[in-house]
Amino acid sequence: MAKIEKLQPEIINQIAAGEVVERPSHLVKELIENAVDAGATEISVEFDLGGRYVKISDNGFGISKEDLSLALAPHATSKIKTVHDIWNLNSFGFRGEALASIASVSKLSLVSRVKEAQEAYRIESDFGKISEVQSVGGEFGTTIVVKDLFENIPARLKFLKSDAAEHTQIKNVVKAMGLAHPEVCFRVRGQAKLLYFWEAVKDKKLRVQQVLEQDHLYQATGSYEDFHVEIYMSAPNNTVRTSKQMWFFVQNRWVQDRGMQAAVMDAYRNLLMHREYPIVACWLEAPLDEVDVNIHPTKSKIKFNQPSNSYRVVNRAVRAQLEKAPWLDEFLGNSAMSDGDAAVGSQPALNYEEPPNTIRSINSPQASLLVEDTEGAAYAFHDHSKSLQFKDSALDKIQYEQKNIIPANTQGQYEEPVVEKNQSSAHWGNLQVIGQADLTYIVTQSASSLVLVDQHAAHERVAFEKLMFAWKEGRIDVQQMLIPLTFQFDEEMVEALVTKIEDLKRLGIFMEQMGADTVAISAHPQLLKPKAIQWSLESLAKEVLDKGDGFSVEKMIGDLCATLACHSVIRAGKALSHAEMEDLLKQMDEFPLSSFCPHGRPVYVEYEFSKIEKNFGRIV
Ligand SMILES: Nc1ncnc2c1ncn2[C@@H]1O[C@H](COP(=O)(O)OP(=O)(O)OP(=O)(O)O)[C@@H](O)[C@H]1O
Ligand SMILES: [Mg+2]
């Protein structure tokens, strides 16, 4: 039997290093955070050789001669004294591990000079073998050079990606650190080239512009309980194919947090296409004791005591800003969103399959959209006159009238809901309709542009928003069943559904449990056919089982409305009268997010006259 022995300190450090600095980019983050903790206002970063060479200098308060050897010792920190301090942190470091870990897997030199000292002092590590402290010439502050990273651990070297890939990671970290600390000036050189120079700025907005190099981001702020957010976000047509352009900071700490990411994505839901991601930088300030930072070796994850609060504050702020649709002001206000051919890339013609014998009309707000259902009986898909009549669209507040509705509350009283009208009113209604092209696009013009509106996508959005509104207000036509519909599911699914009986009522679905594996539906929204009810219940049960508390009814409602909207509206290929086209545009003004169909496709493309004039050689 092998004898149990205590590990040598070097080995302990190397194991710790494996966790703290898996990759070169991790050590860059640790060293920058140390500099920030030291009160630096200027930090310079240099890297090369896939990050196996890194040099970081700062003008912070430095490390005294006496403390130098402790700086490289494991579990030595100046930042916390008691366990309690972890809940009250005002520094990024707290473990006293980073430098010791890095020193054990590299040739490291640390030179530092505090304000009071006449000279600087240097300490070195040769893969964990620590030198004597020597006096050297040097500026105030600290410079750390890391060379030959992981040379003593071949397994870890093999694990590294290509130099280019490691450089990309380092640049990412540097950007995150830049975003986290606008008050710090950063100079970053990679492979001897100056990559970034970000002067110190007074606010996040300016730093976002420097780092993300995006001119068209919109600011959102919000609070919920004691959680506050400041967010910079792109319009839904300014997206990227990866979630890497979503940056999250909690108490200025860069974190990967799925909850916050989901909060953003859920807010953009129905505005983005599959695999599109917005560009977002989001800062959350939470009460100190609500956040546990000590749950991950690289400190890149945190744990909220109340994850629902952080979700809510982020989700609401993003949603509120999206609903204001600030990019529309630019759209019709002469300033181009891009200098490309069109503000939004051209889309292929939409070719939606539609149920046969579909009767539709959007002649007037009173018109019903009639859809032939599969059983053969026509029913009102969406009756504007009854369920969502706009009494006076010129009013700032829109009031909705509804008789044949389910009450939102259990007392059975109707509340007269009032909703803020789209603040950016009459964008679409002000467009002058020229005609219809290819029986698909409404051709219009503004003062500065030719604007093509996709009739199907536009109407789909309008129908979607109306449905969403009705649903949110608990005002949706409900069909009472004489004989309840019954559905069978797995027992665990039924259990999950039963926990959501009240939420289902908000969806207009009145459900009771009939047996261990059976539920009965006594009333459901008129629009939902039995097949769709079954599908909805099934996906709801799955969501609840998957997500537990993270489950969101809003998302469920959004999915349902998007599906319903898509199947109910005018399609490409239908001739529209001038009045019908104008009417559709006017309806679009009643909803804030009209510039995207609920599947995220753009509703319009814009061609600026100035660009057209250039193409004709009228101006050069
Ligand atoms: N750039 C710097 N300027 C001044 N002091 C520094 C600097 N870098 C490190 N130190 C000192 O060295 C100590 C050890 O640094 P190290 O990064 O290993 O641990 P930490 O920052 O305390 O905790 P963590 O392991 O969580 O980063 C710090 O507590 C700090 O006192
Ligand atoms: Mg540290």
Q: Which residue has the higher pLDDT, 588 or 250?
A: 250
CATH no. of 214-324:
3.30.230.10
Helix (H), strand (E) counts: the chain: 18, 30
Which among 350, 259, 333 has a CA at the least distance from the CA of 302? 259
Q: Is the Cβ atom of 63 under 6 angstroms away from ligand 1?
A: yes
**In the beta sheet, which residues pair with residue 47?**
54, 190
User: Can you give the pLDDT at residue 94?
Assistant: 81
Q: Give the ligand 1 atom nearest the CA of 35.
A: 1
Q: Is the Cβ atom of 58 under 6 angstroms away from ligand 1?
A: yes
Which among 2, 102, 1, 89 has a CA at the least distance from the CA of 55? 102
Among 339-348, 376-385, 494-503, which stretch is predicted with the lowest mean pLDDT? 376-385
For the CA of 100, the nearest ligand: 1
Model confidence at 10: pLDDT above 90: no
Model confidence at 240: pLDDT above 50: yes
Q: Give the ligand 1 atom nearest the CA of 61.
A: 4
Q: Is the Cβ atom of 452 under 6 angstroms away from ligand 1?
A: no
User: Per residue in 35-70, pLDDT tens?
Assistant: 999 999 999 999 999 999 999 999 999 999 999 989
Pocket probe for ligand 1: among 34, 125, 181, the residue whose CB has the most ligand atoms within 8 Å is 34
For the CA of 293, the nearest ligand: 1
Q: Is the Cβ atom of 30 under 6 angstroms away from ligand 1?
A: yes
Among 84-88, 101-105, 371-375, which stretch is predicted with the lowest mean pLDDT? 371-375
Q: Where in the chain is the domain with CATH 3.30.230.10?
A: 214-324
Q: Give the ligand 1 atom nearest the CA of 20.
A: 25
Confidence of residue 415 (pLDDT cuts 50, 70, 90): very low
Confidence of residue 344 (pLDDT cuts 50, 70, 90): very low
Phi, psi of 560, deg, nearest 5: -65, -45
User: Can you give the pLDDT at residue 346?
Assistant: 27
Which two structure tokens, joined as six digits, stand for 166? 């490691």
User: Can you give the pLDDT at residue 594?
Assistant: 65
CATH no. of 9-198:
3.30.565.10
CB 482 within 8 A of CB 521: no
Model confidence at 219: pLDDT above 90: yes
Q: Is the Cβ atom of 62 under 6 angstroms away from ligand 1?
A: yes
Model confidence at 590: pLDDT above 50: yes
pLDDT average, residue stretch 360-370:
26
Model confidence at 197: pLDDT above 70: yes
Q: Where in the chain is the domain with CATH 3.30.565.10?
A: 9-198
**What mean pLDDT value characterizes the chain?**
79
CB 283 within 8 A of CB 231: yes
Confidence of residue 348 (pLDDT cuts 50, 70, 90): very low
CA of 100 to the centre of ligand 2 (A): 10
Model confidence at 389: pLDDT above 50: no
CA of 63 to the centre of ligand 2 (A): 13
Which H helix or E strand runs over 12? helix 9-20
User: Per residue in 443-475, pLDDT tens?
Assistant: 999 888 999 999 988 888 888 888 888 777 767
Model confidence at 7: pLDDT above 80: no
Q: Which residue has the higher pLDDT, 526 or 16?
A: 526
pLDDT average, residue stretch 139-160:
92
User: Can you give the pLDDT at residue 163?
Assistant: 94
CA geometry: angle 21, 26, 27, nearest 5 deg: 75
User: Can you give the pLDDT at residue 289?
Assistant: 85
Model confidence at 345: pLDDT above 60: no
User: Can you give the pLDDT at residue 330?
Assistant: 63
End-to-end CA distance of the chain: 86
CB 619 within 8 A of CB 608: no
User: Per residue in 285-335, pLDDT tens?
Assistant: 999 888 888 777 777 888 898 888 899 999 999 999 998 887 776 655 533
When mean pLDDT is compared over 94-108, 186-200, 284-298, the highest value belongs to 186-200
User: Can you give the pLDDT at residue 82?
Assistant: 73
